[in-house]
Structure 1
Amino acid sequence: MSYNRFITFDPYLSFAEGERGLRERIFVQANGIPTATIFDPRHDGKGYLQSLWLLGREAYATTAKGLGVQPTVVDFRAAAATIREVERAYFPILQELIQLGKLTVRGDADTLLANDLEGAMANAPDAWLLDGIMRGVRPGVVSGQLDIEELPDFECLLAAAAVMHLDGYIVAKNLGLEDLDAYHDLVQGNVASSNLYRETIEVARSAVSAVGRRAAKALHAPNTANKAAALADWEACGKSFSSMRAFARMNFGKYGVKDFMTVYNWIRENRKTKG
């Protein structure tokens, strides 16, 4: 990750709660002046790169949620350092998988890169490998083989990368570079990847919840069936017993429960329900 500093705007002043950038939906420089003045000193910043600002605000909010603070330049520097650490930690694993023929590295959906990961990274944009790592762990997250709590917060880190890539786009526009789409795609791509990981976590947690519900249902199924049987027997022959308690004492063993009070309470609650 080659990120060092924000040149064209200050992320906190531009996106943080209560700050001018959020109130007016504009990019703001560290000196408090709208970024748009870089092109036109008379510009108030409103409407300038509005779609890009909206992407940045979304990414900033996601970063803030992950970090638990409204992040400043210092926090983004720390995020950049964390991205480097994660990439270094996973790099040997990915390189080994490539050498074993178990992993193919692609720059995008169509462009196949060389199987030399180090060489690919030399020409790749910042956080490119982080995105690849995230996509690599997704199946394990969904299946439950990987513990979400033990993995990096890909949603937060990719969102932070998107905010940092905003600077590259604005610089490119300021310099009049023609290939602005590539810079925009870096921002949008990281936002999309951040959202993808959040959706992955939601799917994984929903699956765990569903398994839990099925397990609970399976656990209670015999009890539910036994209760229904007891109530049916009471309706059919309860009048031949002196009381609900007497019926329960004589028959509770038939219904898979350890004491007669369970059956007694079933009947009593059922009678209350019927009024």
Structure 2
Amino acid sequence: MHEFLEHCGGFMGAGSDYQAARLVLVGAPMDFTVSFRPGTRSGPQRIREVSVGLEEYSPYQQLDLKDYCYYDAGDVVLPFGHVPQSLNRLEDVVGKLLADDKFPLVLGGEHLITLAPVKQTAQRFPGLAVLHFDAHADLRVDYLGESLSHATVMRRVAEVVGSRNLFQFGIRSGTADEFAYGYENTGFYPFEILNPLRQTMERLRGRPIYVTLDIDVVDPAFAPGTGTPEPGGCSSVEIMAALHMLKGLNVVGMDLVEVCPVYDQSDRTALLAAKLVREAILLFGS
């Protein structure tokens, strides 16, 4: 399908017909700028591997993956340690998916990978809104002198889509400057996800939306396998409910990032991620 893609074991139930698929999964195994615990480059493949432990039927939506046509394109082959070139490759792949009228669902990898699909999606869908579920604000101007970092990614996203088009939920960690910037410039909703998301729904209806979900928005009691765990987060039930609340909105792309298998000995984090991916396929893949 693309010279930068490498086939690997697919997500449960994924078909072999790219042309017929509406939704396409892509792995972005990058963790070059992580600031605490590395290992998220293994996240995409572990999410695929544990997905077979789940049912293809969703009792939440009363829908079944067997009735959907989706495709797992594998992982983007990234030049190790080269951040700009890696983002360029991911942009190229996502751009091809969008040009083919596919819904891209990108599996990370560190959160910086979000910048690439957002750039491509914003070009294709003017007025794009970005919904950001995360423990961390990720709004720094730079981190250790670097403008491209998982700690700066939402600041870069705000520069692409406009800060007023960025909505942030569940944030409970950041610098004083990040919180001040968020309160003044973005749709900034710290500590909670469900109530502020309900309040935001009317502002989102009819708009193209990109969803970026950092698994560390969930409390580490439920999702310990992540690079920068932050106590005080939402439950796995709440993040599932938040995703289901997006039904009927014009969601045009999504990523799920920061699953770190080396710290996930029970696989509970990867299983939660795989379950969220299943629900996203059923929500956005038709």
- TM tier, smaller: under 0.3
TM-score normalised by L of structure 1: 0.28
Q: Which structure has greater helix proportion?
A: 1
Normalised by the size of structure 2, how large is the TM-score? 0.27
Which of the two has higher C-alpha Rg? 1
The structure, 1 or 2, with the larger RCO (C-alpha pairs under 8 Å, 6+ apart) is 2
